[in-house]
Amino acid sequence: MLGFQVALDPKILVYAFAGCLIGTLVGMLPGLGPLAGISLLLPATFGLNPIIAMVLLGGVYYGAMYGGSTTSILMRIPGEAASVMTCIDGYAMTQRGRAGAALAISAIGSFVAGTLGVVGLMLLAPTLAAFALRFGPPEYTALLVMGFFILAYMSGGSMLKTLAMAGFGLMLGMIGIDAMSGYTRFSFNVLALADGVGIVPVAVGLFGVSEILLVAGQGGGPEIKRPKLRELMPSREELRLSVGPIARGSFIGFMIGIIPGSAHIISSFVSYGIERRISKHPERFGQGAIEGVAGPESANNAAATGAFVPMMALGIPTGPVTAVMLAAVMVHGISPGPMLIQQQPELFWGFVASMYIGNTVLLILNLPMVGLFVNLLRIPYSYLYPCILCFCIVGVYSVSNSVVDVWIMLVMGGIGYVLRKLGYDLAPVALGLVLAPMLELSLRQSLAMSAGDYMIFLQRPIALTMLILGVVLLLLGLKPLLTKGKDWRASLDVIKE
Amino acid sequence: MISILRRLHNDQLSGLMLLAVGVFAAWQNLGYPLGTLQEPGPGYTPLLLAIFMAVMGLLIAVRGRTSPTLSDTPWPEAKRAVVIMIACAVAIYALEPIGYRITIGALLIFFLGVVERRHPLTVATVAVGFSMGTYYLLAVLLRVPLPRGSWGI
């Protein structure tokens, strides 16, 4: 009730609506994902109270998840990475004249998954926070190591490349003053680098600028079909076929969302693969199967909510988006972690309640107004990308009024462009950068606690369990490399897509 | 040199690049104390990470023969990407000395007028409208401090 008291405040409602609207628009624009949207809005939240800041940024996050599906279904262009799987069957449905039904199922699935995800967050986060009070440095180290192994195992590409990218991100996180000794590392005499490399310039560079470099100059986009309002109603058969995928997608997405990594992307891949595998007619997938829209869309929205569990309960961001949101809270002097729910109940419950409201707002926004939003996509990309680039520059600059940050963004954009051309997934870089200080601190504290004995990680049951799980997944991931066997993702027919 | 590069496979090149980054980081790290196992110093974790990166890079390069060669990978957008990067670099360099509005306006004129060859009136409208509009939205309404340059514009 405390949460709804907070969230139903008219001011909060306005910000929740604004966040959802901005998020939907941001999700629809190629090159501007949830991260770029949140990064651009971050400086504007400094003057707001922390609850409003979280509600606004949260609205942008799950709004972008919804918005990304519209371009996937209508144009076969994923507005953001998690919508890649929706392109396959969503666009095929559009070609068969069922765009309206695909958009409706996508919105309904996202609403159901988002709402179930919030229930999960409400039940799980306080429990996890209470459990996390038993965590010491060795447990945090093991948790982070396990997260990287899970990320490597679950990611769609090569395990070696994913681990290498995570290592690159961790290495970037070493730049700046060492918190324990005061040494300045890898700053190359650039004073601004002593503060370290921020997540915003790196993420905007890797995801926003590199996308523009890849797409700019490739000619006009595909024809956009504008669905009519009366076409939005799915048939009874389509509704019946969507129930199972939405339920499974919600569960899978939420569980994957809790794990550090690019969870919403992975969850939509896994959901699509599972739906295709258990379908009695797998040949329909790729030809406009409604299950291929319902499952991944539900999964990526549930994952977006699941990502808030470790963020709220442990103070651990599961990805760059939650990292930026944590930064927004920390600016207001609030320390995220297991004590957050006890010390700032109105922040936690207000945020949770605002997510219920946000999901309802998004359902209202996405169905009747889809025709209106589609007009945005009619702006030629040759006009859009220069404006997006300018937004990237001003957004990064305004985070800490530093031109060095904008240079970092540009360099990371170039690096991201080359790495994407060479087949690397960039999400582990951002995640590594975010988790680097926490991993280093907990590792060094663990070694100090045990007088330099690495056995401390095996002597503590929680840490040992997490490490065993991580190593098992690592070995499972390495199996195809050693035996030239099939990768588990290939068995789900996901990699080929 | 170029012919050797073209015969390299994508993963071989990227693996070698990662190996180089790892070796460079390890070499830079020589300047920081490693400490002891009981009390690891500031150079301890970076050294572990540099070794990890170098090993990953080596493994990717060794297994890289199955990936496509560089000459097989199309880079049709590379020229435009370089132009965009250079234009952004000039804009970033000019951002603080000449201010947000002029820099962003000039950047948009370059992209829309020179790179995309749009109609001059449209270019002028978008450039002036965007730079002034975003300045008003961000600097005036949202109170985000944006650079005004030495002329105070």
In a domain, B153, yes or no: no
Do residues B63 and B85 share a domain?
Answer: no
Is B63 in Cβ contact with A414 (below 8 Å)? no
Say if residue B34 is in the same domain as residue B95. Answer: no
What pLDDT is recorded for position B101? 93
Q: Is residue B26 part of a domain?
A: yes
Residue B42 to residue A389, Cβ atoms within 8 A: no
Same domain for B134 and B92: yes
Of A97, A139, A88, A146, nearest to A273 by C-alpha is A88
pLDDT for A445-497, tens place per residue? 999 999 888 899 999 988 899 899 888 877 877 766 666 555 545 554 444 33
CA distance B2 to chain A (A): 17
In chain B, what residues touch A414 (CB-CB under 8 Å)? Answer: 85
pLDDT beyond 90 at A14: no
**Tokens (6 digits) for A242:** 């969507």
B-chain residues near A417 (CB < 8 A):
81
pLDDT of residue A28: 76
The pTM (predicted TM-score) of the whole model is 0.79
Q: Which residues of A, range 199-238, sit inside 8 Å of B by Cβ?
A: 209, 212-218
Q: Give residue B37's domain range.
A: 2-72
Q: Which of A93-97, A299-303, B75-79 has the lowest mean pLDDT?
A: A93-97
Confidence at residue B87, expressed as pLDDT on a 0 to 100 scale:
95
Q: Per residue in A393-433, pLDDT tens?
A: 887 887 778 899 999 999 999 999 999 888 888 878 887 88
Question: What is the number of structural domains in chain B?
Answer: 2
Question: Which one is predicted more confidently, A168 or A473?
Answer: A168
Q: Would you say residue B147 lies in a domain? A: no
Rounded CA gap, A17 and A362, in Å?
8
B4 has a chain A CB within 8 A of its CB: no
User: Is the residue at B148 inside a domain?
Assistant: no
Give CA–CA dist B153/B148, Å, rounded. Answer: 5
Domain presence at residue B149: no
Same-domain check for residues B44 and B106: no
Judge if B60 and B92 occupy the same domain: no
| Angle between helices A137-154 and A461-483 in degrees, nearest 10 | 20
ipTM: 0.93
pLDDT of residue A404: 92
Domain boundaries, chain A: 2-491
Q: Are B97 and B118 within one domain?
A: yes
Question: What is d(CA A206, CA A200) in angstroms, rounded to the nearest whole number?
Answer: 10
What average pLDDT score do residues A63-70 get? 79
Q: Does B77 touch chain A (CB under 8 A)?
A: yes
CA distance A253 to A304: 8
Name the residue facing A47 among B50, B85, B143 (closest C-beta): B143
Residues B7 and B64 in one domain: yes
Strand partners, B69: B9
In a domain, B90, yes or no: yes
Could you tell me the two tokens for A293? 């829209």
Domain edge (last residue) among B72, B106, B125: B72
Please give the Cα distance from B26 to A442 (Å, whole number). Answer: 22
Contacts of B25 in chain A (CB under 8 A): 171, 186
Residue ending a domain, choose from B12, B42, B72 = B72
**Domain's final residue, options B51, B72, B93:** B72
- My answer on whether B48 and B101 are in the same domain is no
Residues B67 and B82 both lie in one domain: no
Residues B8 and B68 occupy one common structural domain: yes
Is A397–B104 a contact, with Cβ atoms under 8 angstroms apart? no
